[in-house]
Amino acid sequence: MDITEIVSTSFTEFDIGTPLSKVAGAFENQELDAVVVTDGDEYRGVVSRQRLTSSSNQPSAKVGSQVQHVPAVERTEDVREVARLMIGSDAKTLPVLDDERVYGVVTADAVLAAVRPFLDAATVDEAYSTELISVPPETGIGKALNTFREAGIAHLPVVEGDEVVGMLSLYDVIEFTTRGGSRSQGGSSGDNVGGGGKAAGGSHGGFGAREGESDRMLDLPVRNLMSDAVVTIGRDATLDEVVETMFEQEISSLVVTDSETGEPSGIVTKTDVIKALTWEQDNGRQPVQVFGLDLLDGMDYDGVSALIESMTSKYGDMQVIKASIELQEHKEQTRGVPLVLARIRLVTDRGYFTADGEGYGASHALRLAANAVERQLLKGKTYGQSKKHTEAEEQEKLYGWWLGG
């Protein structure tokens, strides 16, 4: 299945020298996830809503300073490869080239809409993140903002006791803080990225006009800015139900709850569903996913698989159901070698393990992350319950549509 029918020729484009203030104005369109940046006729990259919102920019800065170099694809690219590229580049919009010029874009939403009929073969339990990053209602907005940035997320559940009482959007926080808290109501009722939209009902906690009190803004509790309505889903729900709910409610994340206790146990996002499109049939091999493989120096996919096997084989009969490795390159360098963040996530029959490693060069960062996971394995520290295998016939149902071309 290719992307021919889901490419959109309607996109927003800016020259590399355009002031960021003008680019920011384009994102008043709440449906816009990213803009394409060109230098003449040459494609240079994209600037996403999240990247622009999360960065501190001078008013005179140009859009070229915030360009994210995401890969471009051809009009007939396979949808599964597009999913891989989106995950590997941490982008929800990819430019589509025709004769080396930008012809259109393909978005994560378009991909999900196209493959939704095939997603009933996989469940939330197999795809969601058991590492639920949340904050209590009394958390200050400043602390919540740091949590957004450190975790690289755009939606933050607000939990009181064992109950999710709200959802906080990065974009609501940024809009509030950058405008000096001058509005009398928190949030943006139309924000469709960080937890707002129909599910929020346009209702946010009111905090009253606070003009001139910028020194106190970041101390305000998040309960004053969060969306009161939260959409949840059970672990046994299928991924097509997830996508249907997200589209209907115009949101990009659902809180996953335990079917027996109703307590929050994790979160599932559009990115998690996109990742499901990259799952491999193991064919007897340990299933290892690597995102950012091109960053590895002196190590290929087989080397990464061998590292994971070596790391986990020391712990008896523990079975690895899925291993995910993500590599992200930072701008910082030393002697020409970039600083890289490596994140390893292991789903095993004993539980869920995750650790980060940061070093100069991807291989160094990966080994540091592997060492951190090993320490967790030795201590038996997990981040969630184990997840079940996908049955063979269910795998065939899920993968058959693209394996058959």
User: Has residue 165 got a pLDDT over 70?
Assistant: yes
Strands 73-74 and 93-98: parallel
- 54-83: average pLDDT: 83
Domain-located, residue 395: no
Residues 225 and 300 both lie in one domain: no
* Rounded distance between C-alpha atoms, residue 108 and residue 194, angstroms: 15
Report pLDDT for 401. 40
User: Has residue 110 got a pLDDT over 50?
Assistant: yes
* Rounded distance between C-alpha atoms, residue 367 and residue 359, angstroms: 9
CATH code of the domain in which 370 resides? 3.30.160.100
**Segments forming the whole domain that contains residue 77:** 4-107
Higher pLDDT, 217 or 82: 82
Residues 138 and 270 both lie in one domain: yes
Report pLDDT for 190. 35
Report pLDDT for 209. 42
Domain-located, residue 161: yes
Q: What are phi and psi of 160, to 5 degrees?
A: -125, 115
- 2-17: average pLDDT: 93
Tell me the whole-structure pTM to 2 decimals. 0.63
- pLDDT band at 183, cuts 50/70/90? very low
Q: Strand order of the sheet with strand 337-348?
A: 288-291, 320-334, 337-348, 351-360
Q: Which helix (H) or strand (E) holds 226?
A: none
Q: Taking a C-beta distance cutoff of 8 angstroms, is the pair 92, 32 a contact?
A: no
Mean per-residue pLDDT of the chain = 78
The C-alpha angle 252, 184, 34, rounded to 5 degrees, equals 30
DSSP code of 138?
T
Indicate the range of 15-29, 42-56, 115-129 predicted with least confidence. 42-56
CATH code of the domain in which 86 resides? 3.10.580.10
Residues 269 and 293 both lie in one domain: no
Render pLDDT for 119-146 as a digit per residue (tens, 0 to 9).
Answer: 888 889 888 888 788 999 999 998 998 8
The distance of Cα 79 from the centroid of its chain, to the nearest Å, equals 18
Burial of 402 (0-12, 13-18, 19+ CB in 10 A): middle
Residue with tokens 């701008």: 331
User: Has residue 57 got a pLDDT over 70?
Assistant: no
- The number of domains in the chain is 3
User: Has residue 53 got a pLDDT over 60?
Assistant: yes
Identify the CA nearest to 271 among candidates 301, 249, 239, 302: 239
Strands 351-360 and 337-348: antiparallel
Report pLDDT for 94. 94
- pLDDT band at 103, cuts 50/70/90? very high
Residues 287 and 268 both lie in one domain: no
Residue with tokens 């020409």: 336
Report pLDDT for 402. 39
Report pLDDT for 320. 73
